[in-house]
Structure 1
Amino acid sequence: MRRTRWFHLAIAVAVAASLQVAPAYANSTQARSAPPGEPILDPIPEEPITSGLGLTVEEFAQFPKSDPTPPPTDQRLMRVARINHLGEIPDGSRRKYVPDLNGKMYLVEDGKAPTVYLDVGAAFAPAFFSGKGMGQGFGFVTFDPGFRTNGRFYTVHTELASAATRQPDFTPQPNTTYHGIVTEWTAENPAADTFRGTRREVLRIGFAGQIHGIQQIDFNPTARAGSTEARVLYVAVGDGGIGARTTVPQDLSVPHGKILRIDPRGNDSANGQYGIPKDNPFAGRAGVLGEIYSYGMRDPHRFSWDPGGRHRMFLGHIGEHAIEAIYDVRPGANLGWSEREGSWVFDRAATNPCHRLYPLPADDAKNGYTYPVAMYDHNPPPTWNCTSDVGRAVAGGFVYRGNKIPALRGKYVFDDLVDGRIFYTEERDMRLGAKPAPLHQLMIYDGATGRRVTMPDLSGPGSIGDPKRPDLRIGRDGSGELYLIAKSNGKIWKVTGTRTFAGCQVGRTPVRHVMAARNWAPVTPAKWQFPGKEAVLAEAGAARPGPRRPFEYAVLTAGPVWGSFQLEAEVRLDTPVSVSNRDVILVYGYRSDLEFSYAHLSSDNKIYPHNGIFTVNNADRLRLDDQWDPVRSVGAAPAVSDERWHRVRLRHCAGTGETAVYLDGAKKPLMTAVDATFPAGRVGFGSFDNIGRIRDLKVTGTRVGR
């Protein structure tokens, strides 16, 4: 990256930011009035979009059991191996490196078991510790782009302040309890699989808390060889866990809550162990750290550069109260914390812990904050007390520019490290100053079995601690291919391809032009009309004895019994919109009045029986769809909220049990479910207790019976 590319922008931003420098460690907990406007209780009502695209993964490596030092009391630290990154050594050897927070750095080659390259924990014992705080220990490693000839690489580790033999650089946080240290290592033989060589300390930062330390260090792999950018090291420094109570991340005289940009081979820093690039946005400013590249951060967890496009730097930023965010980080940018969380005002002094977020002021532009290009919220349960951990934390990821998986190209793939969901946004949709990019949730398929799974499914067996918490990160090799990394069972999976949900070959047998009465078998024939091109449920059904199931429907008797199939039709709800709980249903897999599945298309999505995919198997209907959240009692967006015709497509794969429902030509499914209870059956249309109609029906599939 040449200096002229962003230097002038950086200076302009820096000048604006100079007017906003907060005094060191200013405390904002004194009583004051809440920000204007009503508090925001549900900042992002929209759910991530079900993409219908799945990642196929294959197990790549299993890491040996490791233990924190000292033994922890926090069970979240009890994992098989606290591996949290995968990269590739930039020397053409195709060796991958993986750090374990408990102290060891491993090398992994394709098809081989991991081997220990360096024991960082042992090198810094007894000061080294990893037994308190989620990110403590050997946190990260990165290799100099010229490692093949110079043998240099860099690590981050933590030491107890009471055991450390050196004082922190910069101004340490009051009541410092640990130090985060960046170390340069030089290997005697860069090609060796075990380290021998020397080390030197580059910088040391003191933190008051045991969270939000130095999270990542890295070189920009997109930089032009020989340029200043090619030799600088980026250092992501958290707020030490105190940013929610102070303005520390806004204070440009301290490193906390910032991304630093340093030259590890220079010597003009205060400690003489690194250089401060002259093209840094704050270089040379009195009273300001010239190392700062960008600021206003809580927990800048993982960053990466897009290998294509404009080589933008994207950061996964873990939120405090409600927002997990992705930022496009530019030089001099202020991400707003702790004045902002995501795109909202954050009230540090709120007396009600639920009332933390407020609307932006009308004159917000004057502040010059950088807001997320993508984000999602925590969606806490109704019983949440607003002080406990909901269990959401974005890890960050990568824009995929590899060659092996075309369906991922141009997508920024990232994850939530706590619940294991994997998302993507389109890089082209992530624009500064624009509406945040839509979020799409990816599915996961086990390459060994072909089954659709979740990350807790993959990482739970053999795990230590909470099997529902995979502690997931995403890695990338030198070819741009992606890997999933789980602490819970110490495994890494390689992403080997993609798969479309319900993407089977359904068959070619077609059935259409079947709207005559002779082609249908209604539950109550008197309630139905067949005027020629439509099947009309003209009178609402009534509850019947037996299991809870749709009241009134008609089964299509023309054509075969279907295995895999695709149903396309237009449906309409004739019940007025003034009536609540309106619905129509599409029946499939029908074997009898007590054995079938159905898709429920409703104007309501807030209660269990509405707007989802269900099965009736000699018992009350059972909800199947992935979109239903039973804790919050909310499902997919309402399918039919008016009295217009809607185009519906239902696709079912008999072999896998996968069913997807699409609405009005959408390429992404509204609802998805996996259930193989009824591998074959007939289709139909109906409702619980409303009236409606269907037309332009076409079924194409595989015949399995008459």
Structure 2
Amino acid sequence: MGKRRWWVPVLTAIAVTGTLSIPPTAVGSDSTSAADPADEPITDPIPEKPIQSRLGLVLDEYAQLPESEATPPATDPRLIRHNRINFVGEVPDGSGREYIPDLNGPLYLLDGGDQHVYLDFAAEFEHFFSGRGMGSGFGFVTFHPEFAENGRFYTTHTEDETAIENEEPTYPNQPDSVVQSVITEWTADDPSADVFSGSSREIFRYGFSTYIHAIQQIDFNPTARSGDEDYGLLYLAVGDGGIGVRSDAPQELDNPAGKILRIDPAGTDGPNGNYGIPPSNPFVDTPDALGEIYALGMRDPHRFTWDPERDNAMYLGHIGQHAVEAVYEVEAGDNLGWSEREGDLQYRREDGCYLYPLPEDDAEYDYVYPVAAYDHDPPANWPCDSDSGHAISGGQVYRGELAELRGKYIFGDLVDGKVFYTEVEEMRRGQTRAPLHELQLFDTEGTRLRMSDFVGEGRVDLRFGIDSDRELYLLAKSNGKIWRVVDTKRGAGSEVTRKVERNLVAHYDFENPFAVDGSYEADLGSSNTLLSLINGETDMRVADGAFPGSNNALQVQQIAPEENGNDDWKAGIFDEDGVESFEAFNGVEGTTVMGWFKMTGENPSPNSNTEDPDDYYNAVGLAGILSGSSDGHEVRALLELIQVDGELRLVALGRRIDGAASQTFAAQQDWQELLPQNEWVHLAATFDYTTGEMALYRNGESIPGFYTRSDDPWEVDGSGTSATDPKGIKIGGSFPQNDREANPCNCRMDSLMFLDTAAAPSTISQQYHRFLRR
């Protein structure tokens, strides 16, 4: 598939201005002091992680939409995408035409593979705005169920501060508003035309204090039939405008923020006379409440959908603040709890990192909690109060022709592109959350890929769509493509054996770029520690998997051998105070370092620290764990090529006590036979600190070797290593803190694993063969 292109987003701060006056008593207010000794912060809100399913979706590329740009031009890299398509649906007129809104302005129609612009909002509205905020622009479109006869459809878009100065909102704007969301009704002269011509009228307008969490989705209930209470009523998913973190607006019934509204676009008894308020809405008779409110207590109601079966239940994907992404079954009058709750835990404004247990009187507030959820689980070495790259992309209940998917609510994470499902029958209000399963993804050739592979970037910007047959589509802003789910496929299980998994502290397969910053690799091991790709950053991921099912590898190399510089490509982690998330290696009795390696250039490399062109480094760095007193070179467990008695050899080099002597176990066989040029080889090194035994393995088989010292440099006494956290790991070079260059490797690596035990020969052999059977 060629070399991957990985995108490195830059986080930008969003200034929040203005304050709201909070009434003395807010609905459901139960704030508790964070100093309460009976309350302990919850560091892992949802310990149950998604189950890795063998079931997979087969994705067939369906459409490529044109590039587009924001108005005004964006500076936030998260908005500078191929385009900003965010849904695909089918026009309800029997024509089979599909519609696709692009936040940057165009509304596309797809007709038998042909695509064209039906209406361009950037050109239509003088104050159209899409240049700041993830949801700003032409947000959504929905067609009246009788569009074929009446030609009516409805849209939401945002307008800038000039519009705020000149246009009257339906309800008072949030203080110091910077954008307004506008709902427009359009009437086409000819509903079957390829390009819109007709009339329009504004029906709703509301201003927000920040550029985030405006109106995300508007829609009709497609399961309602003529004569039903819900037929022809329009739902509006209104975010909190970003102020829920500092106000009770989502809990207050006198404003639209943080609510789902339900209106009758054919009515006239709304505040501006441009729509009606359905008499069956839950708060119609509540004093001082907006009759439009259908449900409340939301931060960012991203996408909602209905299941045509199971009593036409409505499901909402709700984007959390910093910890929990949730799916709710929503009924009239529900209060989801924000900002007193995030998911089913207590949120406290004064704490930017953690959630708290529910108070004893929680039942009094009658909050509704998720039927499914997952948490952010931020990397251990990433600030807890920073964006860790997660937000739910609300999905669809599948009721199409693929038997294995029927009855599943399929959704995902819009940032990293993971796709999940839950069984609808297990999503029950008031009961234990339904288990989440992560789906595998395949192209039509049967190759397993991640969405980051499909789009060629770490940040996917995933969305879901559906047609009238309930068949499923996936969309990505990263490359502006749409894929149709055409089949299911059973994939291989985990590439990690159970024996290895039990002791797997860190694991990097170079298929999982950290979505917030692609120059980091996410850890699949228990430590959850980001690996830094040093100097080469995203270019270090190359399309060259070492084993079946692997698509990418890590390229490390020397860049400028003639210069005394510090630009070699390597990877690693370094913390002068010790890497706390590597505590499993503190005082450990044994360690294993293993992975796939392929030599791709000259090894060893010319010594760039000297002027002698004939001077070469005396070692080639592969992978190792640093000791607790290391400056970046002294190691606790290392797999490397070094000079032994004047001859370069593959070695396991280890140190039991920080600052004490090391022992080396060297392979007898020539290293170039063990690591032939341009050939993938699986290597492992084990270190038993209690006995002083070390071993090397190649492709699952033990490598004969010898110890370079006959004495006892480890001072073996039956105990483990020093009781210190390692200062990090190094990959492809000696100094992961990147303050100098030494011992670069011109090679590629795949699926690097670091275990807190000296794995048995059978464990290493089984792991090697597991790779080959995938």
2:235 partner SS: strand
Specify which of 91, 97, 100 is matched with residue 98 of structure 1.
100
- Aligned position for 2:529: 632
Task: For 1:332 and 1:470, locate their aligned partners in 2 and report how far apart those are by CA, in whole Å.
Answer: 34
Instruction: Report Cα offsets for 1:62-85 as digits up to 9, x if no partner.
Output: 111111000111111101111001
Are 2:326 and 2:373, in contact at CA under 8 Å, matched by a contact in 1? yes
Q: Aligned partners of 1:46, 1:692: CA distance in 2, in Å?
A: 32
Which residue of structure 2 lines up, in the alignment, with residue 454 of structure 1?
Answer: 450
Q: Equivalents in 2 of 1:275, 1:185: separation in Å?
A: 17
How much has 1:690 moved relative to structure 2?
Answer: 7.6
- Does the CA contact (< 8 Å) of 1:64 and 1:490 recur in 2? yes
| Residues 280 and 674 (structure 1), Cα distance of their counterparts in 2 relative to 1, 3 Å cut | farther
Contact 2:70 2:131 in 1 (8 A): yes
Residue 373 of structure 2 aligns to which amino acid in structure 1? M
- How far has the Cα of 1:252 moved from its partner? 0.5
Q: Indicate how the Cα distance of structure 1 residues 601 and 154 shifts in structure 2: closer, same or farther if over 3 A, else same.
A: same
Task: Look up the match of 2:368.
Answer: 370
**Matches of 1:32 and 1:402, distance apart in 2:** 50
Q: Distance in 1 between matches of 2:317 and 2:369?
A: 13
**1:82 equivalent in structure 2:** 84
SS of 1:229's equivalent in the other structure is coil
Q: Distance in 2 between matches of 1:631 and 1:130?
A: 36
| Cα distance in 2, alignment partners of residues 598 and 169 from structure 1 | 57
Preserved CA contact (<8 Å) 2:506 2:523: no
User: How far off its partner does 1:224 sit?
Assistant: 2.2
Q: Deviations over 1:371-408 (max 9, x none)?
A: 000000001111232332111000100110011x1110
Deviation at 1:161, TM superposition (A): 2.8
Q: Following the alignment from structure 1 to structure 2, what is the Cα–Cα distance between the partners of residues 391 and 423?
A: 16
* 2:468 equivalent to 1:478: yes
> Does the CA-based 8 Å contact 1:268-1:276 persist in structure 2?
yes
Counterparts of 1:401-420 in structure 2, within 5 Å, are 401-403=399-401, 405-420=402-417
Runs of 4+ that moved beyond 2 A: 21-36, 109-112, 161-165, 383-387, 597-600, 602-606, 624-634, 654-658, 673-679, 681-685, 687-694
Q: Report 1:396-545 matches (<5 A).
A: 396-403=394-401, 405-447=402-444, 449-460=445-456, 467-502=457-492
Normalising to structure 1: TM-score of the pair? 0.69
1:265-344 equivalent positions in 2, closer than 5 A: 265-344=266-345
Query: What's the counterpart of residue 222 of structure 1?
Result: 223
1:693 to partner: Cα distance = 10
Shift in alpha-carbon separation, 1:655–1:386, aligned structure 2, 3 A: closer
Specify which of 57, 60, 63 is matched with residue 59 of structure 2. 57
Q: Report deviation, 1:349.
A: 2.5
Aligned to 1:136: 136
Structure-2 change in CA distance of 1:363 and 1:25 (3 Å): closer
**Match of 1:348?**
349
Give the whole-Å Cα distance in 2 for the aligned partners of 1:163 and 1:289. 24
- Amino acid in the other structure paired with 1:184: E
Answer whether contact 2:136 2:212 (CA < 8 A) is retained. yes
Counterpart-to-counterpart distance in 1, 2:26 and 2:173: 10
The amino acid of 1:329's aligned partner reads V
1:244 is displaced (CA, Å) by 0.8
Query: CA 1:34/1:373 → structure 2, altered by over 3 Å: closer, same or farther?
Result: farther
Structure 1 position 365, deviation (Å): 1.0
**In structure 2, what residue type is equivalent to 1:305?**
W
Alpha-carbon separation, structure 2, partners of 1:307 and 1:27? 33
Instruction: State the match for 2:155 in structure 1.
Output: 155
Cα distance change on mapping 1:630 and 1:42 into 2, 3 Å: closer
Q: CA deviation at 1:456?
A: 1.1
Judged with a 3 Å threshold, the aligned counterparts in structure 2 of structure 1 residues 598 and 118 are, in CA distance, closer, same or farther, namely: closer
Is 1:178 the equivalent of 2:187?
no
SS in 2 for 1:131: coil
**Alignment partners' CA distance in 2, 1:266 and 1:132:** 34
Distance in structure 1 (CA, Å) of the matches to 2:180 and 2:393? 23
Partner of 2:499: 601
Q: Which whole-Å CA distance do the structure 2 matches of 1:491 and 1:120 have between them?
A: 21
- Kept after mapping to 2: 8 A contact 1:28/1:348: no
Q: Mean alpha-carbon deviation: is it higher for 387-396 or for 271-280?
A: 387-396
Tell me the alpha carbon deviations over residues 307-365 of structure 1, each in whole angstroms, 9 at most, x when there is no partner: 21221100000000200000000100000000000010001133xx32x3100122211
CA offsets 1:399-424 (integer angstroms, 9 cap, x no match): 10011x11100000001100100000
Query: Does structure 2 conserve the Cα–Cα contact (< 8 Å) formed by 1:69 and 1:130?
Result: yes
Amino acid at match of 1:270: P
Task: Name the CA distance, whole Å, in 2 between partners of 1:689 and 1:254.
Answer: 62
- Looking at structure 1, the residues matched to 530 and 67 of structure 2 have their Cα atoms a distance apart, in angstroms, of 39
Gaps of 5+ in 2: 1-21, 510-520, 532-546, 552-594, 598-678, 683-697, 703-754
- The code of the aligned residue for 1:485 comes to L
Q: Percent identity at matched positions?
A: 51
The 8 Å contact of residues 341 and 347 in structure 2, kept in 1 or not, is answered as yes
Task: State which of 356, 359, 374 in structure 1 corresponds to 2:357.
Answer: 359
Q: Mean Cα displacement is larger for which, 335-344 or 70-79?
A: 70-79
- Whether the 8 Å contact between 2:504 and 2:526 is mirrored in structure 1 is no
Note the alpha carbon deviations across 1:495-550, whole angstroms, 9 max, x for none: 111110139xxxxxxxxxxxxxxxxxxxxxxxxxxxxxxxxxxxxxxxxxxxxxxx
TM-score, length basis structure 2: 0.63
| Aligned alpha-carbon RMSD (Å) | 3.7
Q: CA deviation at 1:195?
A: 0.3
Show the counterpart of 1:8: none
**TM superposition shift of 1:625:** 13
Paired residue for 2:251?
250
Question: 1:315 aligns to what SS in structure 2?
Answer: strand
CA shift digits 1:611-657 (9 cap, x unpaired): x9xxxxxxxxxxx99954774389xxxxxxxxxxxxxxxxxxx9768
User: Per-residue deviation at 1:176?
Assistant: 1.1
The aligned amino acid for 1:275 is G
Tell me the residue number matched to 2:391. Answer: 393
Structure 1: tracts of 5 or more residues without a match: 1-20, 461-466, 504-585, 587-596, 613-623, 635-653, 659-672
Contact 2:141 2:156 in 1 (8 A): yes
Partner of 1:73: 75
Report if aligned partners of 1:52, 1:442 keep a CA contact under 8 Å in 2.
yes
Whichever residue aligns with residue 346 of structure 1, its letter is Y
Query: For 1:481 and 1:678, how far apart are their aligned partners in 2?
Result: 43
Q: Which residue in the other structure is 1:187 paired with?
A: 188
Q: Secondary structure at the match of 1:396?
A: strand
Letter matched to residue 393 of structure 1: A
Q: Deviations over 1:48-105 (max 9, x none)?
A: 1001111100111111111100011111110111100111000000100000101110
Distance 2:419 2:242 in 1: 26
Once the two structures are TM-superposed, the CA of residue 600 in structure 1 deviates from its matched residue by 5.2
CA distance in structure 1 between the partners assigned to 2:436 and 2:32 by the alignment: 38
Q: CA deviation at 1:225?
A: 1.8
* Counterpart contact for 1:299–1:317, Cα < 8 Å: yes
Distance 1:678 1:477, change over 3 A: farther
Indicate the SS of the match to 1:365: helix
Instruction: Please give the alpha-carbon distance, in whole angstroms, between the structure 1 residues aligned to 2:170 and 2:450.
Output: 43
Query: Alpha-carbon deviation of 1:110?
Result: 3.5
Specify whether residues 33 and 599 from structure 1 end up closer, same or farther in structure 2 by C-alpha distance, changes over 3 A only. Answer: closer
Aligned to 2:655: none
Secondary structure of the corresponding residue to residue 270 of structure 2: coil
Secondary structure of the residue that 1:133 maps to in structure 2? coil
